[in-house]
Amino acid sequence: MKDQPKIAVLGGGSWATAIVKMFSENLDTVGWYMRSVYAVEHIKRNKHNPNYLSSAELHPEQLDLSNDINRTVKEYDILVFAIPSAFLKLELEKLTESLEGKIIFSAIKGIVPETGLIVGEHFFEKYNIPFENIGVITGPCHAEEVAMERLSYLTIACKDQAKATLVSECLKSRYIRTKISDDIIGTEYAAMLKNIFAIAAGISHGLGYGDNFQSVLMSNSIREMKRFIRKVHKMKRNINNSAYLGDLLVTGYSTFSRNRMFGNMIGKGYTVKSAMLEMSMVAEGYYATKSAFKIKEGNGAKTPIIDAVYEVLYGGKDAKKIFEKLTEKLN
């Protein structure tokens, strides 16, 4: 690729690994910050991430690996954050380098629990990054299928369409299709909300509800998503586009979905703590549920599915009884 941009990925999980793999298809050098010194050294020696997507072959000669976030921020112009939202604030507190002038893309499908903000809003309000320099990378796309090089689709959103196009071109390949959008707020909220609806799908599956109910749940989920996003950011958008409906469906139905898996365990009777310990992965929808519930209380959106998941996860209510009531509210 001619005149290659300086792009770095920040995060060490499966989605970060998948994004690094995608960028590596087009860029000679990809910066990659991860906390684990062990993971950095393992990738250099063995050409795969020891903890996530270990089947994905990496090419260390293309990777500028570091466990120093300040070095990565200093040396790269476009920073793609793929750190779980629950840990983002803690990682950003390590920064001594300024983010001024940097282009920030969020690949985080969650909400920052300490501020209750989606990631783009967090960078705008806490770090004074203008929205022209903030973007979103969203699905429908599971990291596991990227590792297997199965055809996948991404939506790249930014107010500055030139920046969205640039990142889009750096990600596309024979197995990755991309499209651009100017709906940075809507796509990021959709990426957060679909995890909550996937937890609902998992809970219903764990309780023994079948495919017929799941189809009704997903149909109601996309309408609930539309109502919620319209309240927080009203603009013309087609909620049936892949960035909204497609991402919801793959997260609600796929066996790769950690949020669905988490919900399934809750439906089967696991406590929140035991489900998280057994998964050993972050279910972004757990944290998003609390924040989304608070947001909807402030704007009055009708959200029976979010309310039901909140009552189960944070209200300590019996999942079976709550979902019996939910069935009467869906259509």
| C-beta contacts of 86-90 below 8 A and 24+ residues apart | 86/110, 86/113, 86/282, 86/284, 86/287, 87/282, 88/112, 88/119, 88/122, 89/114, 89/115
Radius of gyration of the chain (CA): 19
Angle at 54 between CA 104 and CA 63, to 5 degrees: 45
Active site (annotated) includes residue 94: no
List residues bridging with 156 in a β-sheet.
137, 180
Phi-psi region of 269 (alpha: psi -120 to 50; beta: other; left: phi over 0): left
Q: Could you tell me if 39 and 32 are in contact, meaning their C-beta atoms sit under 8 angstroms apart?
A: no
Of the candidates 109, 163, 194, 296, the residue annotated as catalytic is 194
Q: At what angle do helices 319-327 and 304-313 cross, to 10 degrees?
A: 170
Residues that are catalytic: 194
